[in-house]
Amino acid sequence: MTNLPTDVKQPLSLIYLDANATTQVLPQAAAAALATMETFFGNPSSSHITGLQAQQIMAKTRQQAKQIVGAGEGEIIFTSGATEGIQTAILSALIAAKKTLDITAIKSKKYCLLYGATEHKAVPESLKHWNEILDINAEVTAIPVDKMGRLDMDFIAKQVPNALMICTMAVNNETGVYQDLNLLDKTIRANNANIAWMVDCVQALGKQDLNLAQTSIDYAPFSGHKLYAPKGIGFIYIKDNAPFTPVIAGGGQEGGLRSGTENLPGLAALSVIFDMLMGESEHSFTPVKSLHLFHQQIVATLIQAFPNIVFNHSFENSVPTTINFAIPGFSSKEMMDLFDAANVRVSSGSACSSKVTRSFVLDAMGLPSWQSESAIRMSFGPAMTQELVDQTCERIVSAAQALQQSCLTIDTNAMDSKVITDNKALEGLVQFKVGGSCSWLYVDHKTKSAFVIDPLPEVAERLQTMLTCHGLKLVAVIDSHGHADHVSCRASIAKTCLAEQKTDALGWPDNTPTTNINGNEYQYLTLGDKWLLKVATPGHTEDSISLLLCEPVTDSSDKLVVLYAFCGDLILMNSLGRTNFDTSSAPAMFTSLQLLNTLIGTESLICPSHDYNNEFTTSIGAEISRNSLLHKVINDEINSNFFSIQKYTMDKGIIDESGSVIMCGALIGAGDKVSVREYDSASLTEAMKKSSTIKLIDIREAHEYALQHDEKFTYNVPLTRLVQFVQEHQDDKQVPLVLICRSGSRSHLAAQALGRLGFEQVGHLTGGYAFHQY
């Protein structure tokens, strides 16, 4: 991060709302930690004065911890954090339980280890780990939760007699939902008086009063970095007489319960935080009553900014410092990008599957799938201030306005006037991607008309919002074929946005004019000064068509000038559409490929219905350089029979059974990796000194760009408009380009796509804005 550019606009200050993940170390805590590194750096095991000073810091912190959690006669052992505390609890409980196991009961799988379904992953993973290592072979069983995230007490009552351990949490890290510890205590003990019970108290510290010794909780792990102390320090409460086995043996520190030289800087910082919690510091935390008011203010602003917001938990049984919500129509990733651009740090669902980010906590609560995939968590701690809350609210409002200005949401209050300002003008092609599938919107700005191709249900709402917000008239909504892998939402869009239009089964309007090209008649639609030509290209399915956006044909012998070929699943990036459906025909595909080639040539851009590898667009020219089968078809090197045999073999490679996704074409190899130039801030500054023609392009979406960008990045080409950019620069591929995005991943994808399509000097800024200050 050296040599950062200096001629940049005043950056928006950072608002950090991800306290449940970790917190900034408070200056007074950092100062205490520093003092133990520079001055009171002794080893608490040493008996000289420097060692005694260290011991004193440790003893004070332990005393404070005991008081804050109400440890009574229980022990406090310092650890590296909560994950270590969780190991300590589980190992101790399971080693003790193992001594009492009955061999026949083990064999009949009688025993179980219980944990709450919304527990932090550290809990079930550690249970599984030690269950296996200690050869206990118990069932590791999740306790279900209800819609409000509360543990199922009946389930516990039924299962706990056979359990060797039960692990629950005080406050959930994703939702802030808290459990009724008294009720849990009663339920557990009424059914199993001796079972070891661990309560993960990480997210409760500083947000809830704890009185652990008055409960039957055996173990309670805590973590410093969730409450303004540094990472690497935590502690665990152990009830008097609870079984204990050290996880770490060695020099006998912590009375032999946890060896290893103590983390004195961490302890000193923790002590400062404890002073604040106990009101024994000149610095104070915000009282819980005010935290509730902050919560109310942020929630009210969110509702005002995003009127259709849905909250993912009940505030009735949640701490006020966590707000988890979803905005219909926006994925977690999109909202994260939006808030990051507004310089507000929030987080999304915690688990990552191959396709989408989703939250296993919200899944366990039985929330609808979209809420889990769109979850956003805002979390703060007791150091939150009124000033920061006010700034947060302003930032939420400007983020919502940025979405409205790029027509991704509609300001319902301003609906009557429907002001379409010039900066909202939309012209040309927009690509929407959902997983590996694509929908396309093409807009003619002059006539304010548009058509949509292959509309996916997931983008229906967004498409309709854009059409309304831009004041566009929909001319047609057409599917390139009957899709096998997903349901089209063509009919519903047509119903809301098209007046009584009579069409064929794919949505092509009746009674369109025809034109003659090379002796063949083709139907076409007019959109501004362009035509959309319909060409039957069966093969993948019998009904497959290609739609060619082209210049009007004035003479049947003219070469067709095609801007975009929407060819469905005929040619896919690094693949051909599969031909092993009931209505498929490989010989028909052979003919369709040759026909398409004569109509569009090798350079026109192909916009297929799938993009499995994030390549955005392609051309016959780009494909024949890596797809030898297509190369042979186009160059007349094989006949239809040979093609069909090859195609049969290729399609056998498609694995349908991979979840619910049906691949529409077998990928040929892994896709070629185009090497692109990687810049950091220093090398970019250097390159710009050498060349005045470098074009700096921010490829984030328009609303992200509007919220904040580096002034040097004068061009904004969102990924959804990349294909249009390629089309506009077909004759200008020598221009040096450097792309930037939030983290460097979108810019890398886009740079690779451009490189593959013949752009000669394309690079991107590694790490994106995350490593390149505004």
Element (H, E) at 679: strand 677-679
User: Among 112, 167, 201, 352, which one carries the catalytic annotation?
Assistant: 352
Closest CA to 720 of 611, 646, 613, 616: 616
Determine, following the binding rule CB under 6 A, whether residue 234 of this chain makes contact with ligand PLP.
yes
Residues 652, 737: Cα–Cα separation, whole Å: 40
Residues 453, 420: Cα–Cα separation, whole Å: 24
Our CB check for ligand PLP shows the closer of 88 and 173 to be: 173
Q: Min. distance of Cβ 172 from ligand PLP in angstroms?
A: 7
Our CB check for ligand PLP shows the closer of 378 and 549 to be: 378
Q: Min. distance of Cβ 86 from ligand PLP in angstroms?
A: 7
Our CB check for ligand PLP shows the closer of 203 and 437 to be: 203
Tokens of 291: 């935290």
Q: Min. distance of Cβ 379 from ligand PLP in angstroms?
A: 10
Determine, following the binding rule CB under 6 A, whether residue 535 of this chain makes contact with ligand PLP.
no
Our CB check for ligand PLP shows the closer of 200 and 373 to be: 200
Our CB check for ligand PLP shows the closer of 220 and 535 to be: 220
CA 678, 682, 688 angle in degrees (round to 5)? 80
Q: Min. distance of Cβ 355 from ligand PLP in angstroms?
A: 24
Q: Are 442 and 428 within 8 A, CB to CB?
A: yes
Determine, following the binding rule CB under 6 A, whether residue 82 of this chain makes contact with ligand PLP.
yes
Q: Min. distance of Cβ 120 from ligand PLP in angstroms?
A: 4
Strands (E), 281-331: 310-311, 322-326
Q: Min. distance of Cβ 204 from ligand PLP in angstroms?
A: 9
Q: Is 122 helix (H, G, I), strand (E, B) or coil?
A: helix
Q: Is 671 helix (H, G, I), strand (E, B) or coil?
A: coil
Beta bridge partners of 515: 522
Binding segment for ligand PLP among 77-85, 269-277, 328-336, 701-709 (CB under 6 A)? 77-85
- Taking the mean position of all CA atoms in its chain, how far away is CA 514? 46
Per-residue binder mask for ligand PLP (CB under 6 A), 114-153, x = binder: ------x-x-------------------------------
Our CB check for ligand PLP shows the closer of 223 and 574 to be: 223
Residues 277, 41: Cα–Cα separation, whole Å: 25
Buried b / exposed e over 215-248, threshold 16 CB at 10 Å, is: bbbbbbbbbbbbbbbbeebbbbbbbeebbbebbb
Helices of type H across 306-432: 332-341, 360-364, 369-373, 386-405
Q: Choose which of 169, 466, 525, 565 interacts with ligand PLP (CB under 6 A).
A: 169
Q: Is 297 helix (H, G, I), strand (E, B) or coil?
A: helix
Q: How many residues bind ligand PLP (CB under 6 A)?
A: 12
Q: What are the angstrom distances between the C-alpha of 116 and each of 37, 109, 142, 187, 311?
A: 40, 20, 5, 14, 22
Q: How many CA atoms are closer than 13 Å to the CA of 428, on its beta-carbon side?
A: 12
352 annotated active-site: yes
Determine, following the binding rule CB under 6 A, whether residue 19 of this chain makes contact with ligand PLP.
no
Q: Are 116 and 152 within 8 A, CB to CB?
A: no
Chain residues 25-64 in contact with ligand PLP, contact rule CB under 6 A: none
Tokens of 7: 């001629």
Our CB check for ligand PLP shows the closer of 81 and 736 to be: 81
Our CB check for ligand PLP shows the closer of 30 and 199 to be: 199
Our CB check for ligand PLP shows the closer of 154 and 209 to be: 209
Our CB check for ligand PLP shows the closer of 86 and 407 to be: 86
Binding segment for ligand PLP among 76-84, 304-312, 335-343, 402-410 (CB under 6 A)? 76-84
Q: Are 599 and 562 within 8 A, CB to CB?
A: yes
Total Cβ atoms within 10 A of residue 294: 21
Determine, following the binding rule CB under 6 A, whether residue 600 of this chain makes contact with ligand PLP.
no
Q: Min. distance of Cβ 215 from ligand PLP in angstroms?
A: 18
Q: Min. distance of Cβ 122 from ligand PLP in angstroms?
A: 5
Binding segment for ligand PLP among 80-88, 248-256, 476-484, 684-692 (CB under 6 A)? 80-88
Q: Choose which of 55, 83, 544, 681 interacts with ligand PLP (CB under 6 A).
A: 83
Residue owning tokens 């939030």: 742
Q: Which residue is nearest to ligand PLP (CB)?
A: 81
Helix pair 288-305, 386-405: axis angle to 10 deg: 10
Residues 189, 218: Cα–Cα separation, whole Å: 12
Q: Choose which of 64, 215, 223, 301 interacts with ligand PLP (CB under 6 A).
A: 223
Determine, following the binding rule CB under 6 A, whether residue 173 of this chain makes contact with ligand PLP.
yes
Our CB check for ligand PLP shows the closer of 169 and 212 to be: 169
Q: Min. distance of Cβ 231 from ligand PLP in angstroms?
A: 7
Our CB check for ligand PLP shows the closer of 122 and 570 to be: 122
What is 712-761 written as a DSSP string?
T--EE--GGGHHHHHHHTTT-TTS-EEEE-SSSHHHHHHHHHHHHTT-SS
Q: Min. distance of Cβ 202 from ligand PLP in angstroms?
A: 4
Residues 161, 191: Cα–Cα separation, whole Å: 6
Determine, following the binding rule CB under 6 A, whether residue 81 of this chain makes contact with ligand PLP.
yes
Determine, following the binding rule CB under 6 A, whether residue 377 of this chain makes contact with ligand PLP.
no
Name the DSSP letter for residue 540: S
Residues 249, 344: Cα–Cα separation, whole Å: 43
Our CB check for ligand PLP shows the closer of 23 and 223 to be: 223
Binding segment for ligand PLP among 75-83, 188-196, 528-536, 592-600 (CB under 6 A)? 75-83
Q: Which amino acid is at 243?
A: P
Contacts of 689 (CB under 8 A, 6+ apart): none
Residues 50, 52: Cα–Cα separation, whole Å: 5
Per-residue binder mask for ligand PLP (CB under 6 A), 177-206, x = binder: -----------------------x-xx---
Q: Are 760 and 752 within 8 A, CB to CB?
A: no
Helix pair 82-98, 122-133: axis angle to 10 deg: 40
Per-residue binder mask for ligand PLP (CB under 6 A), 495-524, x = binder: ------------------------------
Q: Is 166 helix (H, G, I), strand (E, B) or coil?
A: strand
Q: Min. distance of Cβ 82 from ligand PLP in angstroms?
A: 3
Q: Min. distance of Cβ 123 from ligand PLP in angstroms?
A: 7
Q: Please return the burial class of 48, using the count of CB atoms within 10 Å of its CB with bins 0-12, 13-18 and 19+.
A: exposed
Residue owning tokens 């792309």: 739
Q: Min. distance of Cβ 771 from ligand PLP in angstroms?
A: 24
Residues 25, 17: Cα–Cα separation, whole Å: 14
Binding segment for ligand PLP among 79-87, 398-406, 576-584, 654-662 (CB under 6 A)? 79-87
Determine, following the binding rule CB under 6 A, whether residue 174 of this chain makes contact with ligand PLP.
no
Residues 218, 238: Cα–Cα separation, whole Å: 6
Residues 170, 179: Cα–Cα separation, whole Å: 6
Active site residues: 352
> Which residues of this protein are in contact with ligand PLP, per CB under 6 A?
81-83, 120, 122, 169, 173, 200, 202-203, 223, 234
